[in-house]
Amino acid sequence: MQNALSQTAPKITLDEQHFALDRIMKPITHTQRFILWVDAVGGYLVCLRDVVTLGQAIAGSEVDIPLLADVSRNHARIHRVGDQYILEPISTVRVRGSDTTTETSLNDGDQIQFGNVELLFRKPHPLSATAKLEFTKGHRTHPRTDGILLMADSLIIGNRDHDHVVYPYDEHQIVLYRSEQGVDCRSDQPINMDEKHEQTAGPIFLGSKIKSEYISLGIEAL
């Protein structure tokens, strides 16, 4: 089986897939956020910016990661620098059990606490700089999601423990990755992409739906 990471997407113009199910779908820019829905697994807030701000979910807030929790309006920032991540506290943050008010490097497995929020920082895949923020308490984002993905070069969905989104089914891998035109998708098995059948690669859009024999994905705009 050819790994989806090693495949190259064909050149497909945006106009070819702008329309599906009688709706216009907009391309995903590299500064946007979207929700990735994975059937039978959950929903994930995907952030593509190199710098994201975490803060309280209140009316008029423009934070990238709005939290339904007792935290400051703008509580902290996370910077991606190459394949490294730096936490910048705006208010006090506890990392690895110690309070910090200065910039701190984040490593896979670090615990982050601020206000009444507890997050686990994960950078699980050896071939991708994408990171995850997993909730270790009951708090969530607004809109409600099950986790946060800080998407760097690629976002890997599969059944292996080191994939960014893990689903408990047969071996099958779908990869979302940055391209010149936005975000593309490739798969190691044929998939249906926005009513185009038996595809293995192509661009995705806000509102895209991807389905294979084993898994269904949806891309929701924010």
Whether the model pTM is above 0.75: yes
Residues of the chain with CATH 2.60.200.20: 4-44+154-221, 50-150
Q: Spelled out in words, what is the top-level CATH class assigned to the domain 4-44+154-221?
A: mainly beta
Residues 143, 139: Cα–Cα separation, whole Å: 12
114-131 pLDDT tens trace? 999 999 999 999 999 999
Confidence tier at 137 by pLDDT (50, 70, 90): confident
81-123 pLDDT tens trace? 999 999 999 999 999 999 999 999 999 999 999 999 999 999 9
Residues 173, 161: Cα–Cα separation, whole Å: 12
Residues 194, 52: Cα–Cα separation, whole Å: 30
Domain 50-150 has CATH 2.60.200.20: yes
